[in-house]
Structure 1
């Protein structure tokens, strides 16, 4: 039997071969400024099944890799790179999560579309950042398209579509 590291590498190659594709662009915006519904790509659903990530599974994430450990943090509309702080299915801590931030609605919305394990390629996922009682409560930012969050960490939850 091959060593565990070789098995995990083969596993990541298999998952990576499922492909990439969703980036959060082309999402409809609701009248309140929050993003509208969005389907999770079939390839992401397949990848999450292999990774043993099911809707509702959760972990902890450092929301912005560039503001790690700071409090409060300022976030802007657009792409985000976050860092897993705990295991998430087969994804280890320090895995990078890539997604999109929207600050226009009543809460900050962060949707994650890709994950990159420390020794692997980017793979498709569907996940959201949220606190225990729902969304990421925000304070107005210094300019349009930005918001202030009291905490630099949040829960991250697997979803099968974005609502």
Structure 2
């Protein structure tokens, strides 16, 4: 663990608890999540880690399906892998979040980053995106799933989930 990570763990007080569970949001009629605020702790940690709104990097969407030609995502928790450095997060880093597969494309929100070199988990706010409709589900996707043509997407830092 780097000294920066030790300081960060100290800053967090080893407690990531909050009043509500990240990702526990109301859904629209099509099954996509409504807006959600980032926790104050996540905003504070992102500032410390120099993770500024709009910064991005490539991620493997599902750690269990890395580098596959197409992947299937399911509603619920997701573990992704950061392929590039962003801010002071040095790849590889595990990203933990949630997937909603309702609508034309899945919604993926990340709530935690986990350092793979011995560090702990820290709260963040990020989303997975691809432009030009490249994150759209394939027509054969069944309810509760999203079959995608790419195992990779961009991970973007946000200050609120919209």
What is the TM-score of this pair, normalised by structure 1? 0.89
Q: Distance in 1 between matches of 2:78 and 2:33?
A: 15
Structure 1, residues 34-79: CA drift from partner, whole Å, max 9, x if none? 1100000000000000000011010110000000000110110000
Count of matched residue positions in the alignment of Structure 1 and Structure 2: 159
C-alpha deviation, 1:142, in angstroms: 4.8
Please point out which of 72, 87, 90 is paired with 1:89.
Answer: 87
Residue ranges of structure 2 left out of the alignment (5+ in a row)? none
Runs (4 or more) in structure 1 with deviation over 4 Å come to none
Is 2:57 aligned against 1:52? no
Q: Is the 8 A contact 2:8 2:45 kept in 1?
A: no
Q: Distance in 1 between matches of 2:46 and 2:112?
A: 11
What is the TM-score of this pair, normalised by structure 2? 0.89
Structure 1, residues 65-119: CA drift from partner, whole Å, max 9, x if none? 0000001101100000000101011111111000000001121110000000112
Q: Distance in 2 between matches of 1:15 and 1:152?
A: 34
- Name the SS for the 1:89 alignment partner: coil
CA RMSD in angstroms, aligned pairs only: 1.9
Residue ranges of structure 1 left out of the alignment (5+ in a row)? none
- Name the SS for the 2:142 alignment partner: coil
Please point out which of 7, 11, 14 is paired with 1:11.
Answer: 7
Q: Is the 8 A contact 2:61 2:151 kept in 1?
A: yes
Q: Is the 8 A contact 1:60 1:153 kept in 2?
A: yes
